[in-house]
Structure 1
Amino acid sequence: MKKLLKANNVYLSKTERLFYCDCKIKIPTKYDAEIIDQCFEAMSEIDLKYNSYQQDSYIDQINKNNGNWVKVDQQLIDLIQIIKKISSITSGAYDITSMPLIRLWGFYNKENDSIPIFEDIEKMKQNIDYNEIQISGDLIKINKGQEIITGSFIKAFAVDKAIEILKENGVEDALINAGGSTIKVLNNAEHPTWKIKIPDAETSVYNEESEVLISNECFSLSGRNENCITIGNQKFGHILNAKTGYPSQTLQVGVICEQAFLSDVLSTALFAVEPNEFPNVVQELQENFEFEFYRIENNGLKIKSTCF
């Protein structure tokens, strides 16, 4: 544990590696350090239980048994139902069954040096359809050839669970930073806000001019620079538009929302949508969910709501 000074309070800080990123939790020193350990235990349990990259997780079982029903818990069903609703609003641009396309583009092959041909993309798109995630009672099934990826939501869901543990233990002032892309905070009257620095969309460099204040909320960031590949001299981000089959050309999206899970899903969904469809999509999303956002296009144009 390290002690950090922030807003006239001294904080305990601990970092663990989960969800393939560094996750940091900070709480004031007046609280027991074991509370942080409880949070990490809960996050680790979610990682093992739901992460598509974890062997024998619910999602791993669904993927390996594609075409067959798999028994899961109600928590996963609730998450999938919200995700399917958001996918529907984006007309399928955001789709968690896009793992086959991600592999085709070479995000798991460092030696990939060519853009997939149109015919291969179109063929792979036949396996991409969130509507084929079927739910019946406590059972979930996907079609043969389909595969779910949880990267856009499971880490954030774990952050929400950790925040619940902090609240149960009376913690009113805290920060959880999961990989820099999911930052959720707790605030009280003594410490009303946390200042979150935002990296430059082009260079990923942090500067004092780009920051946002959040209070009892989550800030989620999706950016092309955060996870990308270069083919030839062209950079491609890891967030694909599942409708087109191509990586989105959006530079960066930030979302502020009370719930980390929803914040992360929305930042990915808003990143994936084509520019011409974006106004209608964001309007419908805001009719169903409460959030603030900004989006930076490939040409540098910034679209934002009031708090940004």
Structure 2
Amino acid sequence: MRRNFIWLSLFFLALVIGVGIWRSADNREASQAEFLMGTYMEIRAFGRRAPTAVERCFVRLQEIEDRMTANSLDSEIATINQKAGQEAVTVSEDTFFVIEKALRYAELTGGKFDPTIQPVVKLWQIGTDEARVPAPAEIEAKLPLVDYRAVELDATQKTVYLPQAGMGLDLGGIAKGYAADEAGAILKAHGVKKALINLGGNIYVLGTNPNNESWKIGIQDPEEERNQYIAILAVQDATLVTSGPYERFLEVDDQVYHHILDPATGYPADTGLLSVTIVTTKSIDADALSTSVFALGREAGLELINSLAEVEAVIIDDEYRVFATAGIRQQLTITDPKYTLMP
């Protein structure tokens, strides 16, 4: 058995193309990188107050991880899961907001995005040294615990209650998006007008690059290991999040099992897609939507995206066809002839 998991930041190439050296007293560059929320994170910002802003961003990112990680017994999410079937848990404004947002996307997608998938995620453990293929009976036993409609929220008291023992929340499909938005807000509050935030492939850009041009972000080739991109997106003041089966996976007996699980079956979603990139203004939305569209499939996914304001998508299927929504097509350049941009 071979286990493979490489962080999204290595697969989704946040490629800043053609950025020269750009420094002055008022426009110095500050950058910082750390491993947080299970992935490699880097922020590059430009401006007089950029060093202070970037430092404060990472303090905030650590705070969000401490509250929302499912990998610590002390986090708010862990406490909610431990108290399932027992009592409601009071949480921070941060955690309540993200859970509330996750449940909205669960409803919007008919449960294809479901933050209560944690009991099944815990079975597979994809992305850890304990990754394995669960027995069908194990999955069947956990599926009744996956139901976003059962989560009880009290907006006044800021409490969260899971009514059945064994239920659990996993915010892995949305928390990094929230973190990127919070980092962006801190940079803006410090007067930073040019920045690139890369939270393990959750990309958030402010303004233009140091050459006063659009930031150029490469979309990773889903069939190559690293640093190979099939297209470039030129963006300003936007966020991009990509989901795909290549991000984290488990290979057993030549069968590949990726980490995007279908809440209805408990198995990896099989929709014929290789990659989904969402472009919008809020990273929390892009994060949830990239997973949602991958789980929905191309037709239902595009229908969802086209129903939403100021949201664009680039979808790659297993026939190497690229489908881009109307609002992003002019900013997309295909760089690999193996892939075809569909009309």
Same topology, TM > 0.5: yes
Residues 206, 125 of structure 1: alpha-carbon distance in 2 compared, 3 angstrom cutoff? same
Q: Which amino acid aligns with 2:222?
A: A
The aligned runs of 1:255-274 (5 Å cut-off) are 255-273=278-296
Q: 1:20 aligns with which of 22, 26, 38?
A: 38
Q: Which amino acid aligns with 1:90?
A: T
The aligned runs of 1:115-126 (5 Å cut-off) are 115-126=133-144
CA contact (8 A) 2:222 2:246 kept: yes
Q: What is residue 290 of structure 1 aligned with on the other side? A: 310
Residues 32, 89 of structure 1: alpha-carbon distance in 2 compared, 3 angstrom cutoff? closer
1:59 aligns with 2:77: yes
Q: 1:39 aligns with which of 57, 68, 75?
A: 57
Q: What is residue 202 of structure 1 aligned with on the other side? A: 223
Question: Within 2, Cα distance between the matches of 1:205 and 1:45?
Answer: 30
TM-score normalised over the length of structure 1? 0.88
Pick 1 or 2: higher relative contact order, CA cutoff 8 A, min separation 6.
2
Cα distance, 1:185 vs structure 2: 0.6
Provide Cα deviations, 1:151-204, integer angstroms capped at 9, x if missing partner.
11112211111111111111000011111x201010159624111111101114
SS at match of 1:98: helix
Q: Which runs of 5+ in 2 are unaligned?
A: 1-17, 24-28, 330-343
Question: Within 2, Cα distance between the matches of 1:211 and 1:192?
Answer: 14
Q: 1:74 aligns with which of 81, 93, 114?
A: 93
SS at match of 2:192: coil
Question: Within 1, Cα distance between the matches of 2:307 and 2:190?
Answer: 34
Cα distance, 1:24 vs structure 2: 0.7
The aligned runs of 1:104-253 (5 Å cut-off) are 104-107=123-126, 110=129, 115-136=133-154, 137=156, 138-142=158-162, 143-179=164-200, 181-188=201-208, 191-207=212-228, 209-249=230-270, 250-253=273-276
CA contact (8 A) 2:68 2:77 kept: yes
CA contact (8 A) 1:197 1:212 kept: yes
Q: 1:6 aligns with which of 19, 36, 41?
A: 19
Q: What is residue 8 of structure 2 aligned with on the other side? A: none
What percentage of aligned pairs have identical amino acids?
A: 26
CA contact (8 A) 1:198 1:206 kept: no
CA contact (8 A) 1:47 1:54 kept: no
TM-score normalised over the length of structure 2? 0.80
Provide Cα deviations, 1:226-267, integer angstroms capped at 9, x if missing partner.
111002101111010111221023321111110111111111
